[in-house]
Structure 1
Amino acid sequence: MESSLSSIQALVNDIKEEMFSTVDLYSFVSPSAYDTAWLAMIPDPKRPHLPMFKGCLEWVLKNQREEGFWGESNHGSHPTIDTLPTTLASIVALKKWNIGDDNIEKGLAFVHANAEILLREKSNNSPRWFAIVFPAMIELAQANGLAIVFPDELQEVLSNVFFDRQQILEMERLVDEYHYPPLLSYLEALPSTNDVEEEDILMHLSANGSLFQSPSATASAFMVTGNRKCMDYLVSLVQRCPHGVTSMYPMDEELIKLSMVNHIQRLGLAEHFNEEIEEILSRVYRTFKKQEPWAAKMKLVAAQIYKDSLAFRLLRMHGYRVTPWNFCWFLNHEEILVHMEKNFEYFASAMYNVYRATDLIFPGEYEMEEARSFSRKLLEKTMALRSIDNNHVMFPNFHRLIGHELSLPWMARLDHLDHRMWIEENKFSTLWMGKASFYRLSCLHNDKLMKLAVENYEFRQSIYRGELEELKRWSKDWGLSEMGFGREKTTYCYFAVAASTSLSHNSLVRMIVAKSAILITVADDFYDMEGSLNELQRLTEAVQIWDGKGLSGHGKIIFDALDNLVTDIAAKHRHQQDRDITKDLQDVWCETFVSWLTETTWSKSGYVPSKLEYLETGMTSIATHTIVLPASCFLSPSLPHDKLRPAQYETVTKLVMIIARLLNDIQSYQKEQEVGKMNIALLYLKENPQACIEDSIDYVREILGEKKKELLEHVLMDGLNDLPKPCKFLHLSCLKVFQMFFNSSNVFDSKTDLLQDIMKAIYVPLEYQTSKLPTSIQSRPKKDNPIIYSRFYQTFKHHGHRSFIRQRFPKITMSRNGREKVFIAPKINLCIT
């Protein structure tokens, strides 16, 4: 454990020194082989037999992949469609200067061997950039004496790509308001038949001498015109990026910083870089709040929306007061909306950020609702194409990320599992797209970040496994795991708290939450299904006077475990803060037990409460406050002492209570109807006889939607309550757990629905491969840990779980004598998708 911590801290220190010092931000962006190759082709104006940028040519020579290609690879390190034109451009650069014969031969072999499979993936829908660039690179290679020969069976696919290019060239003007990037930004790929006049080129040069910030197009413009401004731009670019140029220059350096922060947070590493993140966001905020909301030019719309929505989400999550119009400005521009709908594939990454920004909607922000609806529509169109799958202008695995966002609300996702997904899906961090592809965090910085993310995640897992074992012992010692009725949810309760927060070292908080949740589950089931009214009244009275004398059976077990928990929490708090909160804790629990008795009395007597009466009791009986408030006393800063008292709960606490109750009710009304219990959905039907159950659910969901917006505002904004930020975020984590349990069904009551997530969160090492990482964290699990899997199996072997585990996890089998045994078969992937 200590060695893991020291290794993590050493990596953190290295990254802080490298990433957050005064180094050039361009060093964080991976170079573009395609654009570097084009700069390598430029002859020196004074010595035409030599390259103008010898360093670019050397970079091309040294950066061919082992498989023979230049360009991008996807999730499995397989080449993307981008590699075809990029490899052709690279071998043309080498051929032009008569060097790298072996590289050229290897590159040609790659193109010939892989063209068919890569092209057939796009046979029915070539991306616009590819249809423009790939035919041009074939023609350029052939014009330079390179033998590009494709098999006959590929001719039809190639013909389609060339046909697509012809249509684009005939239908689009060099620069128009309907297509971005415009045709002229692909100057290096336009055929001579397109008859581009020098005047057209010079007219569209930017003030810095670039042609639409594209190094490859500007390189071509310089070779055509010899323009001094173009040359100055290219020289400046190479000086700024001496080790391979970027696919766009200049870049928005603020966007690079925001992308770094986003990547660090999504890898689960924010806790290690709090000061650095806060410094970046405070600087961004100063410019963000001053910017003109709709000053973007059409050609910069995609990048501007991408940046604004990313900045909005990061700033709002960190408590900055930002208005939705800082990124929703595009809704007021009909021509921009039309442009986006026509070019929805190019705008997909911008819409992905818009959709994620609208997760953080506050009450009355109707423009956010509109932006969410619009972005979802475009993302669904992108998904329907199913053509981007790792090889489009967007980054690898983007298709899966979009699907994840659209299918599972952010509020229903647990942070720890989101971090795992980001680590496994994003070995190559994407910052933003260029003209024909995308640029990423540089390999050097990203490899260190990924190594840190892997070690950090698996360090958490080791902590979680130890704590879960301790919790199971506690549950068994107090008789809670073997009550003989109801739900045994020790592992579920611990998984929920561990996976929902980023409190890696705050074991005490996790254990208080988990123990409280276990007790609540057992006691709630006792009140619902096992105890007689007389037994329940005696238990409730015992809690009210906090004296368990005279109790027996299940009631005594529950009270004794509760008394132990409260006594332990109070003692630890007294030790930390020199204050006795025993009475406050007892009052919170007493309120909860009274609410359970009230509901049971209603059920047994047939009494039907009003909706208001039901909710006043139901928001207490769901017991979220009983879970979150005692644990909040141990955060730093901690819960103010008076906020633990029932009469002084903050609004944010009450919101979590009511939302959790409503979430539970819309998924449990059928079960509760069968046993004669009331439920908000059923009460609505009683008060509205003409309504159907769908109407009732819609009614509850509408209330939920508004209450969640209120909660987010109370959690994220200062000044609305007196709770410290860590306490508010623990409230949010509690709500996310309930949203996860009751999102589309009641998975808390299921015996199998959460098993895969539990395995990933606690037991299964990350599936991560990269040649640059040390062997110690490559391609795990290479050797499986029988102890870990044995513990998992023992946890879930009860209640019909054996067949599920053997079906999903073939490492587990039975021995001949019928006793359970764990058999570890090599090379079986336990990460079920």
Structure 2
Amino acid sequence: MDSWLLSIGLMIEVIKKEKLWERDPYSLVNPSAYDTAWLAMIPDSDRPGQPMFQNCLDWVLRSQMEDGFWGGSDGHGLPTIESLPATLACLVVLTKWNVGKDKIERGLAFLGSNTEKLLDGTYGSCQRWFVIIFPGMIELARKAGLYLPFHDHLKVRLIDVFNRRQRILETEELIGDQCPPLLSFLEALPSSYKITNQVTNTIRNKITSGDGSLYQSPSATARAFMLTGNSKCSHFLQALVQRCPNGVPPTYPLDEELIRLCLVNQIQRLGLAQHFTHEIETILSQAYRSMSTWGSEQFEGKSTSLLQFGIQLHKDALAFRLLRMQGYHVSPWRFCWFMRDEEIRQLMEKNYEQLASVMLQIYRATELMFPGEMELKEAMSFSKKLLVKATRRANQAQSFEQHHVAFARLIEHEIGLPWAARMDHLEHRMWIEEKDMNALWMARASFHRLSDVVNGKLLQLAMLDYEFRQFIYKNELEEVKRWSRMWGLSEMGFGREKTTYCYFAIASSFSLPYQSDMRLLVAKSAVLITVADDFFDEEGSLHDLTLLTQSVQRWDGKGLKGHSATIFNALDNFVKETSEKYLQEQGHDITRQIQEIWCETFEAWLMEAKWSRSGGMPSTEEYLATGMASIATHTVVLPTSCFLDPSFPISKLRPKEYETLTRLLMLIPRLLNDIQSYQKEKEQGKLNYVLLYLKENPKADIEDSIAHVRNILETKRQELLQHVLLDEFSDLPKLCKLFHLACVKVFQMFFNTSNRYDSNTDMLEDIGKALYMPLNVGFLSLDSIGRDQNFGARKEFQQVRSALVRPFNSQTDAANQASLATHPRGFSCRNVLTPSSFRLSFN
């Protein structure tokens, strides 16, 4: 463990020393092999036999990947469909200047081996930009005398691509309302597409009236310069190469603020934010200070392409989300300004496929909605509509006409699972494994991508951090299970055995330190609550429940027997341990405060048991007053908050004096539970808010009742988010407020579309990914783990899965299952990539 921590610390130190947030933002973005090749094609006007930009040619010569391709790699270094036109452009350059013959051979071999599978829907997409550019590069390569190794079966597919391009050329205007317009692909237009004097004059006018570029595209501008020789165009290219001597980006100039925001987003999504809190705050504080210059006002009076609007929207939405999560006051109109412009919205609807990445950022930003922010609700509806349309288009498309599979899958995940129902630990895993996770935002063609060097270091750190957490989580889970068995809680013979579920919830929802007593505290609390709640619901007689509650009220277990004694003794020991630990750390005795919270919870359980068994029918208000306590979220969160931050006021532990934020924490999970449990509770004769609402509103049906509860939930979630993120709504320490939010997200996960907590199978895949299964990262196939080892790890997880699925029919069976589920051998990051190999790769 010490060597593991040392490796993580060394990697963090290396990254911090590089000061990514202070570096030239252009160094954080991958150069575009395609665009750099086009600049390398331009001959020097004084020496036509040599390139105007020798450094661009040199970059092409030294930047071929080991597999023979240029550019277009995903987050794991594997070629994407973008590599096809980039490789062709680089081969044309090398042929033009008669250099790099061995590189030409390797590039042609790559095309022969990979073109078909990259065109296939599993590997890539065939969007509009590709349909225009790829045929153009094939024609250019053939004109340069290159023999392309495309077999007959592949040629059939290529004919389809060429035919699609022809339809675009016949139906689109050169400067239309497509995003981006056809003219922005000037370098790829076929020789049959006549560049008339009128078109040349249009190009000159556009260059002269702007910054000297053609739609800020280096490749299109390079072609425009070769056609026109325009001096302003030349100045733009010279400035570009001087600014970016080591390969040029896909567009120029880049929005440097956006690059830094994307870096923050990448760090957070990889699960590394806790290691770079100061650096993140530095970037976001700078972004907040400069926000006055953002938005649509900077475009007023200018001729701006929809693509530029798209990039601005991407930045504004991303900044809004990052800043709001950090606690900054930011108005929704900072990115919802497009909702006021009917013309822009119409263009966005027409170009929804090209702007899907922008729509995704908008949708993610709208999930951080506060009460009364109708503009966010409208923007959410607008963006979701276009995202659904984009994914439907992708799913209906055939073969290589699909959208990029990984990106379509990401969209479906974002709109299919609400942000409030996602567990951070699993989200980090998904982002680590996502092969397109270094994509930043959509350019004229394909994506801008985070630098391979920067992304590689962050990814290595994220992998080590994630699997180290798995190692710790498995050990802590084993400890909780030992505790549960020792106090007899896992062998009660009734109800639900949810020790693994309880621990998974806290481990996956909140990034506490590596080794944390707080995770154990939360998991043990949740186990106690589950067992006691089931005892009140299913097992105990009203007499037994009354005696147990009275014992908790006076905190004396004398006279209790059987299950009642087991529950009280475990609870008494747990409260003593918790209080003693706080006394040692903070010098205060909080025993009585914790006892009072548990007492309130037991009294609520008893009241619900009396209602259920007597047929009592409280009002919805009376039911919620009790149900908010019986769901027991505050019983978990408040004592734990004392340890999260020493400044947490002990007075907040006192019943009847809870903060508004804590009351929201108690209300929302109760309603989430009731929506998904009303049918079961109706059959069991138990009370439920959904059912009580029907009693009070005889004209309503069950759908009306559910809709009523969902409306309450929507409002209360927005209020809770506002209380968590903005300081003026609650004086609780920030970390404690975030813990309130994490707890609500756990219940949203459990009860989002069904009652997953009561299911024996619904949670198993998530638990496996969070605690047991090694990361699935393709480019690590040559590391120390072999296929047989990986298979063994997966087989072991299947054994754990089988153990968790089997019902608890006896104490012996439960003990056997617990033994299997503790997973003594487990798998750690050491099986996948050792600390020493991480250090080697960093040196």
- What's 2:838 paired with? none
Q: Please give the per-residue CA displacement for 1:11-34, whole angstroms capped at 9, x wherever unaligned.
A: 111111224363221111111111
**In 1, Cα distance between the equivalents of 2:435 and 2:78?**
14
CA contact (8 A) 1:493 1:517 kept: yes
CA gap of 1:396–1:253, structure 2 versus 1, over 3 A, is farther
Mapping of 1:760-775 within 5 angstroms?
A: 760-770=769-779, 775=783
Unaligned residue ranges in structure 1 (runs of 5+): 803-811, 814-819
Q: For residues 775 and 321 of structure 1, do their structure 2 counterparts lie closer, same or farther at Cα, with a shift above 3 Å needed?
A: same
1:678 to 664, 669, 687: 687
Tell me which moved more, 684-693 or 290-299: 290-299
* Cα shift at 1:55: 1.9
Q: Is the 8 A contact 2:320 2:335 kept in 1?
A: yes
- Pick closer, same or farther for the CA change 1:788–1:475 going to 2, 3 Å: farther
* In structure 1, distance between residues paired with 2:770 and 2:122: 36
Which residue does the alignment assign to 1:357? 365
Query: Greater CA deviation, 728-737 or 43-52?
Result: 43-52
1:219 is matched with 222
Q: Is the 8 A contact 1:82 1:391 kept in 2?
A: no
C-alpha separation in 2, matches of 1:800 and 1:559: 23
TM-score calculated relative to the size of structure 2: 0.91
Residue 611 (str. 1) matches residue 620 (str. 2): yes
* C-alpha contact 2:694 2:705 (8 A) present in aligned 1: yes
Q: Tell me if structure 2 keeps the 8 A contact 1:294–1:330.
A: no
Residues 177-226 of structure 1: CA deviation (Å, up to 9, x unaligned): x1122222112112343325432222112643222111111111222222
Q: Say whether 1:189 aligns with 2:191.
A: no
CA distance in 1, matches of 2:184, 2:676: 54
Match of 1:11 in 2: 11
- In the alignment, the residues of structure 2 paired with residue 32 and residue 729 of structure 1 have an alpha-carbon distance, to the nearest angstrom, of 40
For 1:126 and 1:261, locate their aligned partners in 2 and report how far apart those are by CA, in whole Å: 30
Deviation at 1:147, TM superposition (A): 2.8
| 1:291 corresponds to which of 272, 286, 294 | 294
Contact 1:765 1:781 in 2 (8 A): no
Aligned equivalents of 1:785 and 1:171: distance in 2? Answer: 55
CA contact 1:57–1:93 (8 Å) conserved in 2: yes
Partner of 2:243: 240
1:809 aligned partner:
none
2:261 to 255, 258, 262: 258
> For residues 787 and 147 of structure 1, do their structure 2 counterparts lie closer, same or farther at Cα, with a shift above 3 Å needed?
closer
State the one-letter code of the partner of 1:281: L
Cα gap change, 1:250/1:273 in structure 2, threshold over 3 Å: closer, same or farther? same
| Matched positions, count | 809
Paired letter, 1:48: P
Aligned to 1:816: none
Q: Which residue of 1 aligns with 2:61?
A: 61
Contact 2:12 2:461 in 1 (8 A): yes
The CA deviation at 1:64 is: 2.4
* Residue of structure 2 equivalent to 1:203: 205
Alignment of 1:808-819 (within 5 A): none
Q: Answer yes or no: is 1:277 the counterpart of 2:286.
A: no
Quote the residue 1:743 is aligned against: 752
* Pairwise CA RMSD: 2.9
Between stretches 181-190 and 441-450, larger displacement belongs to: 181-190
For residue 452 of structure 2, the aligned residue among 443, 446, 465 is 443
Structure 2: runs of 5+ lacking an equivalent: 811-819, 833-843
Quote how far apart the aligned CAs of 1:77 are.
Answer: 5.8
**Which of 388, 401, 409 is residue 410 of structure 2 equivalent to?**
401
Pairwise CA distance, 1:443: 1.1
CA distance in 1, matches of 2:483, 2:795: 20
SS at the partner of 1:548? Answer: coil
Confirm or deny: 8 A CA contact 2:555 2:595 kept in the other structure.
Answer: yes
Cα deviations by residue, 1:622-677 (Å, 9 ceiling, x for unpaired): 00000100000001254211111112101111001111000000111111111211
**Map of 2:606 onto structure 1:** 597
Give the Å deviation of 1:433.
2.1
Alignment of 1:310-709 (within 5 A): 310-386=318-394, 397-426=406-435, 428-505=437-514, 507-709=516-718
Aligned to 2:86: 86
The answer to whether the 8 Å contact 1:349/1:394 transfers is no
**CA-to-partner distance for each residue in 1:394-453, whole Å, 9 max, x for gaps?**
877111111111211111111001100010014651112222121211111111101100
Q: Give the Cα separation in 1 of the matches to 2:620 and 2:321.
A: 36
* Partner of residue 167, structure 2: 167
1:131 match = 131
- Structure 1 CA distance for aligned equivalents of residues 329 and 785 of structure 2: 41
Secondary structure at the aligned position of 1:633 is classed as helix
The verdict on how the C-alpha distance between 1:421 and 1:778 changes in structure 2, with shifts beyond 3 A counting, is: farther
Q: Contact 2:620–2:693 at 8 Å: present in 1 too?
A: yes
Q: Which whole-Å CA distance do the structure 2 matches of 1:202 and 1:553 have between them?
A: 90
Q: Residues 344 and 52 from structure 1, CA distance in 2 versus in 1: closer, same or farther, beyond 3 angstroms?
A: same
Which amino acid counterpart does residue 346 of structure 2 have in structure 1?
V
Q: Is the 8 A contact 2:125 2:402 kept in 1?
A: no
1:758 is matched with: 767
Q: CA separation of 1:786/1:222 partners in 2, compared to 1, >3 Å: closer, same or farther?
A: closer
Q: Using a 3 Å threshold, how does the CA distance of structure 1 residues 685 and 82 change in structure 2: closer, same or farther?
A: same
> Cα gap change, 1:723/1:394 in structure 2, threshold over 3 Å: closer, same or farther?
farther
Counterpart-to-counterpart distance in 2, 1:430 and 1:768: 16
Give 1:237's aligned amino acid.
L
Q: Structure 1 residues 35-44 or 60-69, which shifts more?
A: 60-69
CA distance in 1, matches of 2:550, 2:158: 81
CA distance in 2, matches of 1:287, 1:270: 22
% identical aligned pairs: 56
Distance across 2 between alignment mates of 1:119 and 1:204 = 34
In structure 2, the residue matched to 1:726 is 735
Note if contact 1:395-1:430 (Cα within 8 Å) is conserved in structure 2: no
Partner of residue 835, structure 2: none
Task: Report the alpha carbon displacement of residue 791 of structure 1 after superposing the two structures with TM.
Answer: 8.8
Instruction: Measure the CA separation in 2 of the matches of 1:252 and 1:822.
Output: 49
| 1:428/1:94 CA distance change after superposition, 3 Å | farther
Greater mean alpha carbon deviation, residues 501-510 or residues 543-552 = 501-510
**Does the C-alpha gap of structure 1 residues 432 and 283 become closer, same or farther in structure 2, counting only changes over 3 Å?**
same
Deviations 1:342-372 (A, max 9, x none): 1111110001111111110111011111111
**Aligned-pair distance for 1:232?**
2.4
**SS of match in other structure, 2:778:** coil
- Displacement of 1:174 in angstroms is 2.8
What is the TM-score of this pair, normalised by structure 1? 0.92
Check conservation: 1:392, 1:437, Cα contact below 8 A: no
- Secondary structure in 2 aligned to 1:646? coil
CA contact (8 A) 1:120 1:157 kept: no
Measured after TM superposition, the shift of residue 41 of structure 1 is 0.8
Alpha-carbon spacing, 1:453–1:124, altered in 2? closer, same or farther (3 Å): closer
Partner amino acid for 1:3?
A: S
Q: Which residue of 2 aligns with 1:179?
A: 178
Question: Which residue type is aligned with residue 217 of structure 1?
Answer: A
Kindly tell me: are residues 797 and 198 of structure 1, through their superposed partners in 2, closer, same or farther at Cα, counting changes over 3 Å?
closer
> Does the C-alpha gap of structure 1 residues 20 and 145 become closer, same or farther in structure 2, counting only changes over 3 Å?
closer
8 Å contact 2:127–2:401 — kept in the other structure? yes
Distance 2:787 2:19 in 1: 26
Deviation per CA, 1:92-116, whole angstroms, max 9, x where unpaired?
A: 1011011122322332333344444
Structure 1 counterpart SS, 2:743: helix
Shift of 1:117: 4.2
